Each structure stands twice: as structure tokens, then as C-alpha cells.
Structure 1
């Protein structure tokens, strides 16, 4: 039996694939390479190239590889850009998830771990976000992730009395950074770490998008969590589902203590040894002031922990990027 990782050639997905392989859970990758890289897929891991919007392809992959569960990482993950591209965001994140669930039902695959997002909360008015906080997404991206969670919930209800009832959990997190393997690094044109790395490599000055947020230093505050920790939590969730153990419908993979963009910039200069004063640009649409989540439920059930300091996050990401 194997686990299908949608988006398994991407930055987060490729780390999940490695964590599955280390746990002897036989990963299989499906990815259309729109933002992923075939070189990120380890040798010996089956790779299906194509979009999960192709229901026949997904169902065939599930059957061909005797898949017992799916870790659904594929998606369009750019909150700010989603404001300009809402229809594309919904197609990639909502319609694709619906098709995936339909294919899973046809192939009698009943376990799914969904890569959701802390963006489902919008701009919370509490210091720490818990799973039961009201959901008020501030961008089409956040809305699409929340709808994805609803799809899982509703399909689980619909199949509850069947031979293969859907079992699911959604993992909500925000800024994923660092690297757990020098082969894999974040190639996003929108995420903070790769934007800063590219600027430093090219001799440009990194930029902060907005310094007038309602935070301690004026720059927005987020959970920054290491990609290897994120991948490990996905694997434990898959193991709980496969073993039929109790599992919550959603978990925050939070840091408990957020970091501001300015604090990240300070760590960048410190770790890379390149001194700079960031330029200040305008805010990005859809960016909330602050989102910091607890990880208490995930620590209880998924062995969730933040095992990396901010300097280690920067160092592992910087070393992986420079290796390329």
C-alpha cells in the first residue's frame, strides 16, 4: 500500500515525500510541474505527471499504485495574488479538491490529509489562534482553503454509512520556511524567504511590503515554521488515519510565538553575513496584520513541535538555495 502526494514535486510536497519514505509509507507523486520540479522527486519514487483536475488520471494513479491514502498538498498558494486571480485560485484549490475526492471515492480510497492554511482565519482579533476560532478569510486563497475543508467534511458525512467512509484531517499553517534536504528549496516568486535570498544573491536590497501594520514594529507577524517539521506532522496524521486512530478534523501547526518580517530580515543579515537595511514598499492586498496560532492539539496528537530556531530556518534555506 502507498500514499499519494498531490503536488509532491513542490517545495512542501517534496519534503512530505521524503518523510513518508523515511517512515516506510511508500510515497507516490502526482504533479503537473506548474510550480514543482521533477528533480525534487527522489529516485525510485513513482511519479505521475499531470493535473489533479484530470479525474481519470487521478483515479488511475490511485488504482495503479494501490493507494491507501492521499496527502493533498497541491494548490495555488499565493494569498496576495489570489486577489487578482480569484477564478484561477478556485479552479486549482476548490474544483481540484472536489475532483480528487470524487476519484478517491471511485477507487475506494478513504484517507486524506489536507494541506490547509491559517489564512482561513483572516485577521483574528485574539493573540493566539485556536482551531475553533471563527473563520473569516481575507483573500480568495483563504476562502478556497476553507471550502476545501468543507468538501472533506461533507464527503465524510455523505460516506459515513458506507463500506469506505472518508477519514480526514486538515492541517492549517502559514509561512513554511527552511529546508530539510539540500536538493529541495523554496522556488516561489512570492514567499518572503526566497524573495530575500534572490535579492541578496543578485546584490539587490530586500524589500518589506508595508511597515504600517498594527504590530509592535509595524511589519506583519506570522508563524514561521520549518518545512521538515511540517512534513513530519503530515506523516503522523497519515499514520493515525491508516491505523483508524481518533483524529481531529483540523489542527493548527502554529509556532505559539510569531515573528515579524523585520525580525526575519534581521536574522537574514545575521546568518548570511550580508548587512542591509530593507527597502519599504506598499502592502500586499489580502495580507492581515498578525496571525499566530497555538499548536497544542497538534502537539498532543501529531508529535508537533518547532524544532528549529529562526537562525536555523534561515541557515537551512540559505544553504539549500546556494547549493543551486
Structure 2
């Protein structure tokens, strides 16, 4: 397939792009490089532009014909979104709208959309199935839900993938998680273990969980990328949760980082962050049934080991 990958210079986008090219697909990356990295694109053609500029994305479709679009490009930090609502709504909504309009104008009929479990907010039921009520508690989650709604009104077949917590790196250490600022638990904990940061800030140890810390569903980024490749084969529109189907607490994750690195972490307990639910993990029954998908690398030790390898090579 000839594919356009928006945000293909970012963490999940670049790894998905690499696996797509290895699978024989013909890809082009469109990215504004505000948070992505030129070197992560490898040999794939990179078009530097911004989705908030309709003429720029229209020009891409005027010069190329695509079988499908995989739309990763977005601002994606829940905490930051609460401090910068204008930036998040402007970037994520206008970017999504312009992309859909360009697809309509140029008769591109298929989109795979990178959504998030943050659309569920504080879920009433865990594990979380696709039928769970939509009730985001962050600007980020709200913006992703709004793009989901936009997609419904455009003449496209869509597979909307609601991610849980993407983590880990390419097993060969070539591509990994490189955010600025970095807020995700595994890379921050690894930075502390490697002496690049003094302490790990643990936000809340008084949740209604066995050890008092938040529980999350961590999915290896390679497994996540594999689901996108499978989604391209779907004939109809779908909404699918992508997670492993079990959760690990923050304390459990930190223990695994200590085990894998052989280093004791200095941990400072801080107050809870607003908008952090106690427990989130996926019901991935639909992903397995519809996509024929099965996570292969998403045990927490493999995730941490792959992330550590990337950090040792690249930082």
C-alpha cells in the first residue's frame, strides 16, 4: 500500500513506519518536527509541514496518491494539555479537520487514527471495553474524542485505535521514546537509574489499589505498531482498544526497573496529579478477534529491557 503517516517522526509513528516499510509498504512521513526527530524517519521520504495549515497538507495530496492515512500527529501529554488548552485544541482539532478535508478533496478513503484510552476518563468498569462511557477528564482526552467524532462525518472508512500506555523500544535499540519533556514513568525511572536524574517523583501512594499507586496497562510499542499494520486490512470501520489486558502498579514498574538496571531508585512521593484515575487496563477481546492481534513483547520486563537498551545507546 501507498501510505501517508502523519507524525511519523514521533515515537509510535516512527516505529510503525519502520515496521510498515519492512513489511513492504510504500510510506511517506508528514511531520512538523516540533516534537518528532528527523533521524527517526530513516530512509522514508519526509515532508516537513504542519497539519494546521490546510494548504500544506492539500499540497501533499496533490503530489501523491495514497491508499490510506495513518494519523499519529498530535500533542499528547494529558498534564500539559490542562495548562495549554488552546494549543491542544488548536493543534489536535484543526490538524485532524484539515487532514480529513484534504482526504475528502483528493478521494482518499481510509484512515487509521491514533486515539487514546484517555477518552474514558474515570471508567466505571475495569477492564475497559469499547462500550465504556466516553467521559474524558483532560483536554488531551477531549481533543482526541472530538477528532473521533469528526471522522464519523467524513466519507472515510476508519479504524480508531484507543491506546493504553505505549512503552518500550525497538528490540534492536534503533528507535525508542525520546520526548522533551519526558513525563512517562519508564523512561524517567531509567534516567534516574542511569544517574541522569536525581530522584523519581511518584505522584500519589494513597490510591485504592493494593500498594496505593496507580495501575496502568503497558503495551510494547512494537505490539502497538503491529496492530496498525493489521488495521490496514480491515474492510469496515471499527473502534478498538489496544492494551495487554492486565495492569501494573507504579510501584511494580519501579521494582522491575530496579531489577533490570541493578540500581536502587531514589523515590520522592508527591501529591496526586489531577486527572489520574486509580486503575486503567484494557479489555482487548475485540483487538484479538477483529485484528487477529496478540501482544508478543508486552510483558513488563521485556518492555523495560528494550527501553533500557535504547537509552544506553542513545543518551
TM range (shorter): over 0.9
- Quote how far apart the aligned CAs of 1:247 are: 4.3
Instruction: Report whether the alignment pairs 1:187 with 2:186.
Output: no
Cα contact 1:265–1:278 (8 A) shared by 2: no
Q: Which moved more, 1:122-131 or 1:300-309?
A: 300-309
Which residue in the other structure is 1:176 paired with? Answer: 166
Instruction: Report whether the alignment pairs 1:295 with 2:289.
Output: no
Which residue in the other structure is 2:215 paired with? Answer: 221
Which residue in the other structure is 1:73 paired with? Answer: 72
Q: Write the distance in 2 (CA, Å) between the matches of 1:68 and 1:109.
A: 7
Instruction: Report whether the alignment pairs 1:196 with 2:198.
Output: no
- Quote how far apart the aligned CAs of 1:2 are: 1.2
**Gap regions ≥5 residues in structure 1:** 160-165
Query: Could you give the per-residue CA deviations for residues 279-301 of structure 1, whole angstroms, max 9, x where no partner exists?
Result: 21122222211111111111112
Q: Write the distance in 2 (CA, Å) between the matches of 1:303 and 1:73.
A: 22
Cα contact 2:51–2:94 (8 A) shared by 1: no
Does the C-alpha gap of structure 1 residues 101 and 246 become closer, same or farther in structure 2, counting only changes over 3 Å?
A: closer
Q: Which moved more, 1:136-145 or 1:212-221?
A: 212-221
Instruction: Report whether the alignment pairs 1:17 with 2:17.
Output: yes
Which residue in the other structure is 2:63 paired with? Answer: 64
- Quote how far apart the aligned CAs of 1:277 are: 4.6
Cα contact 1:208–1:278 (8 A) shared by 2: yes
Query: Could you give the per-residue CA deviations for residues 66-106 of structure 1, whole angstroms, max 9, x where no partner exists?
Result: 21111000101101111111111111111110111011111
Could you say what secondary structure the match of 2:73 adopts?
coil
Which residue in the other structure is 2:39 paired with? Answer: 39
Query: Could you give the per-residue CA deviations for residues 235-286 of structure 1, whole angstroms, max 9, x where no partner exists?
Result: 111132xxxx2342x1001221111111110110001111225221122222
Cα contact 2:193–2:258 (8 A) shared by 1: no
Number of paired residues?
309
Q: Write the distance in 1 (CA, Å) between the matches of 2:26 and 2:14.
A: 13
Cα contact 1:220–1:260 (8 A) shared by 2: yes
Query: Could you give the per-residue CA deviations for residues 16-68 of structure 1, whole angstroms, max 9, x where no partner exists?
Result: 1012112212111011111100010121x110011111212212212323211
**Gap regions ≥5 residues in structure 2:** none
1:300-319 map, 5 Å:
300-308=289-297, 309-319=299-309
Could you say what secondary structure the match of 1:213 adopts?
coil
Cα contact 1:83–1:286 (8 A) shared by 2: no
Instruction: Report whether the alignment pairs 1:238 with 2:232.
Output: yes
The TM-score, its normalising length taken from structure 1, stands at 0.92
Could you say what secondary structure the match of 2:5 adopts?
strand
Could you say what secondary structure the match of 1:198 adopts?
helix
Could you say what secondary structure the match of 2:161 adopts?
strand
Which residue in the other structure is 1:162 paired with? Answer: none
Which residue in the other structure is 1:256 paired with? Answer: 245
Could you say what secondary structure the match of 1:136 adopts?
coil
Detail structure 1 runs of 4+ shifted over 6 Å in the superposition.
none
Which residue in the other structure is 1:163 paired with? Answer: none
Q: Write the distance in 1 (CA, Å) between the matches of 2:224 and 2:274.
A: 26
Aligned-pair RMSD on alpha carbons?
A: 1.3
Query: Could you give the per-residue CA deviations for residues 199-230 of structure 1, whole angstroms, max 9, x where no partner exists?
Result: 22225222211112222211111110000000
Query: Could you give the per-residue CA deviations for residues 290-313 of structure 1, whole angstroms, max 9, x where no partner exists?
Result: 111111111112232221211100
Q: Write the distance in 2 (CA, Å) between the matches of 1:52 and 1:133.
A: 30
The TM-score, its normalising length taken from structure 2, stands at 0.94
Which residue in the other structure is 1:275 paired with? Answer: 264
Could you say what secondary structure the match of 1:141 adopts?
helix
Instruction: Report whether the alignment pairs 1:92 with 2:81.
Output: no
